[in-house]
Chains A and B, each alone.
Chain A
Amino acid sequence: MADKITSPDQLLARAQKAQADLDLRQGRKDTQVTVHMGTCGIAAGARDVVATFMTELSAAGVTSASLHQTGCAGLCEEEPMATITLADGTMYRYGLLDKDKVHTIVTDHLVGGTPVDAYLIKT
């Protein structure tokens, strides 16, 4: 998961990067990445998932996606979860996320256009 902030300098660096990437989170873009942050999601590590998406989207230069949060989706055992919604309304729900999985999802799905089947929640 994302490294814990241990100094004001580290946080400032992250904050400045976030400011520079303000475009990422302004309004709703064609592609929306929504991290589920109900009690279950938070307890499972959703806060770090948000931070990792922020970092990975920025690092990959993805400007067509906006990052959002929402509550519990009723699949608590799959937390931390994120839902990717495309412009045509197609939704992909990923579960049991960690830093590495978020990296793969950003690289393969959001940049490459191929959903990561192995991490999709099968319902």
Chain B
Amino acid sequence: MHDLSLYLLDIIENSVRAGATRISVGVTVERAADSLEITVEDDGPGLPVTPHEALDPFFTTKKGKKTGLGLSLFRQAAEAAGGGLSVGRSADLGGAFVRAWMGLGNVDRPPLGDVAASIFTMVATNPEVDFVVDLADGDKRTSLRGSELPQRLPALVAYQEALT
């Protein structure tokens, strides 16, 4: 994967494939703490396996496959950048919860990439899913949701450009 936006896209795809109808994405930057955090949570059925199994690259819930690389690759990238990745149950939506964190200024942190394109792709091809995107850069917070998302994506572009 070239950048974080592709890992994010992969995690969102997991939620869609699990049958989620509400998906909440969060990108949070705390410059003072040198922290970048990405979260995805949904109202799907939740992880059918233990968190340990979910992060095992040789474990997958997909029939006919022997590997499940998405979460483990994301974890590897986050750990390489001084962070980590955890999975569990969403307290707000009841489904799966994925949280990745890493050092904002860590030299091994992948670039943020085109988060707007990842969000736009999933919104455009899954009109039945209610997406919410919450962005935070210190005290500056932006929330994009539902049908207004395509028109408000420029706010997301401005956010990601500020981090480049």
Binding site for B on A (CB under 8 A): 4-5, 7-9, 11-12, 14-16, 18-19, 25-26, 35, 37-40, 42-43, 47, 50-51, 54, 67-72, 74
Contacts and interface: CB of A to CB of B under 8 A. Distances in A.
Interface in B102-126: 114, 116-118, 120-122, 124-126
Interface in B75-116: 114, 116
A8 B155 CA distance: 8
B53 interface: no
A69 B13 contact: yes
Contacts, number: 86
Contacts of B125: 25, 35, 50, 67-69
25 contacts: A5-B157, A8-B158, A11-B153, A11-B157, A12-B151, A12-B153, A12-B154, A18-B124, A37-B10, A37-B121, A38-B10, A39-B73, A42-B13, A43-B1, A50-B121, A50-B125, A51-B120, A54-B124, A67-B124, A68-B125, A69-B122, A69-B125, A71-B13, A71-B62, A72-B65
Main secondary structure of the interface of B (DSSP, over half): helix
Contacts of A7: 157
Given A39-B69, A74-B64, A15 B121 contact: no
A38 B69 CA distance: 10
A74 B151 contact: no
Given A25-B125, A67-B125, A15 B13 contact: no
B146 to A, nearest CB: 13
What are the 8 tightest A-B residue pairs by CB atom distance, in nearest-first order? A8-B154, A69-B125, A15-B150, A39-B70, A8-B157, A50-B121, A11-B157, A39-B69
Interface residues of B, number: 31
A37 B150 contact: no
B6 interface: yes
Nearest to A14: B120
Contacts of B65: 72, 74
Contacts of B73: 39
Contacts of A26: 127
